[in-house]
A and B are shown apart, each in its own frame.
Chain A
Amino acid sequence: MDEGADAPRGPFERAVSTLNKAVGETSGFLYFLVFAICFMEIVLRFFFNAPTTWAFEVTIALCGIQYCLAGGNAHRLGRHIRIDAIYLALPKGLQRIFDVVGELIISIVTASIVYGSGVQALRALSAWQTTGSAFDSPAPTFMKLAIPIGALLILLQSLVKLKRALINLRRGHEK
């Protein structure tokens, strides 16, 4: 579970990688909470016939938020599924160029998600959107905020990788 030869160097890279590792790993603990709530809900409903009004929407919100936040750490570890059969067969020089182009594309696409979802999140925040159920939690507002934050985490990690890819490209040419 480390980045090997592409380990972060310099303050920006280290800050982003540390942030993503921390967010990814810490937010994982939300699933323990989700497990505890779901399990409690079964016990309350089955043995005491007293289900809660909030378990359903709270677990959905916690999970939804975690899905978003986990993307950056997965990108840091290079765990997003790639189809690399062709990529691996290419000469090293071409791979380095593809790395730069690919990472540039990821940066652009995540930046545009940050923009679109950011606008929606601000709207939800200013209207303070709630679920409108009996429990009426502000879950929609928090979930909509999580999307731009999660996309921003991936964007930052992608900029780190882009920088790395550019350095590798230049080094490759020098050799």
Chain B
Amino acid sequence: MSLELVSIAIPALLVLLLTLGVPIAFATASTGLLIGYILFGGSTFFFVPFRMYDLMNSYVLIAVPLFLFMGYMLEYGGVAHRMFRVIHIWSGHMRGGLAVGTIVAGAILAAMVGVIGAEIVALGLVALPQMLKRGYDRRLSFGVVCAGGSLGQMIPPSVVLILYALMANVPVRDLFLAALVPSGVLVALYIAYVLVRAKLDPGLAPAAPPEELAISSREKLALAKDLVLPLTIIVAVLGSLYGGIATPTEAASIGVFGAIVAAAANRQLTLASIGNALKQTSVTIGMLMWTFFGANAMISVYSRAGGVSYLSELINGLGFGPMQLLLMMMLILLLLGMLIDVIGILILTMPIFLPILSAAGIDLIWFGILFSINMQVSYLTPPFGPAVFYLKAVTPPDTSLSELFRSVWPFVGLQLLALLLVLLFPQLALWLPGVGQQ
């Protein structure tokens, strides 16, 4: 088979299998094995497991199950629910305060959990009913929960960022640092949007009635514990990582320790809660790692055939400048984001994009952040918008999927604005890691 034919046969076979409903893990593995068998014969059967073994030997990858464990532990330990209650009470007197509180809670959760589904369900169960009860505009409330709850993929520690760092061969620490300012930009844009809307049309987000806020300062202070605990965990995890005390893997184990302490402080530390968190971690890892194995099999067969360098030359032949190249990739990612899950996009596109980007002299940390913001959009856009699907599971029964999708458009606009800002001003992402190196 010629390289042209291979380059067509692989995506064609993959699309066919995915259409049949075969999971990405096995669709990619069978594409890789079949094409590999045709090209290289029986040696493919030994070559593919060897690549799996390579992946299993990654030390950085251990951070992924540990961060998942930490996230599930915080969820089962009741930390998320308590934290939102505090933010809710503290932000209640402000017009639009509940919506702002939801975004802030989403961001804090994101810095601890990083499991998108869990976050949106938590916000949907705790924050949404309170906003609706207070008479907040439905669409604004839905949009805030979806956008705020998707931040987990972007704000460190994020599983997607760790996997990207592994594939791009950049330090996790630098990538995490680079994500901080752009995440802040996103959060600030969301909050500004809510405040402007509430100012223009006070009916959208009424302030709390005074009697609801009539709690003593002592009670308010007692609630502080529920906020201090999560913030301490975040500072300990990210601080130990940025301070160079711990590797990403060790920082994750500090996070697990913090999560266990927090659950104990809430009197929700039981063998059952630890067991459930570990079971959840195992299931998520089983999915994640076999998807990684499968995609790795396919990509390594393609790259062994010379396909990756062939594609790079093909794209270089287009004579695109760096900015055109980036715009083209962003467009491809946005389109894929409407159809495929983030992990799927990451492992299918990056082995092809990354060598092209390196050759064009584009900073891979910067690109990682652009990718992350882009994937924020993918959580909200139809037809495949995971954030919206998760929220649908916990909204009142009269809420339609199309109403939910209509609610998130303003936030998609804000995400695209953030993407444009980081694209035009790379320093937003690269300033902090640069400072860290001095």
Contacts and interface: CB of A to CB of B under 8 A. Distances in A.
Given A24-B282, A42-B246, A42-B254, A31 B69 contact: yes
Nearest to A146: B56
Contacts of A77: 283
Interface of B is mostly: helix
A71 B56 CA distance: 14
Interface string A56-74: 1001100110111111111
A115 interface: yes
A51 to B, nearest CB: 11
Interface string B18-35: 111111111001100100
A66 B17 contact: no
Contacts of B286: 24, 67, 69-75, 79
A70 B283 contact: yes
B262 to A, nearest CB: 15
A102 B22 contact: yes
A21 B313 CA distance: 47
Nearest to A140: B53
B208 interface: no
Given A24-B282, A73-B283, A82-B23, A68 B56 contact: yes
A87 interface: yes
A32 B56 CA distance: 18
A28 B61 contact: no
Interface residues of A, number: 63
Given A42-B253, A143-B53, A80 B33 contact: no
**Interface of A, helix, strand, loop or mixed by DSSP:** helix
Given A68-B56, A81-B344, A115-B45, 12 more contacts: A25-B278, A29-B275, A39-B253, A63-B56, A67-B285, A80-B25, A80-B291, A105-B17, A108-B30, A120-B50, A143-B56, A147-B56
28 contacts: A31-B65, A31-B66, A34-B66, A35-B257, A38-B252, A59-B62, A60-B56, A60-B58, A60-B59, A64-B53, A67-B286, A71-B289, A73-B286, A81-B287, A82-B22, A83-B339, A83-B384, A87-B21, A95-B21, A102-B20, A102-B22, A105-B26, A105-B30, A112-B45, A116-B45, A143-B56, A146-B56, A147-B53
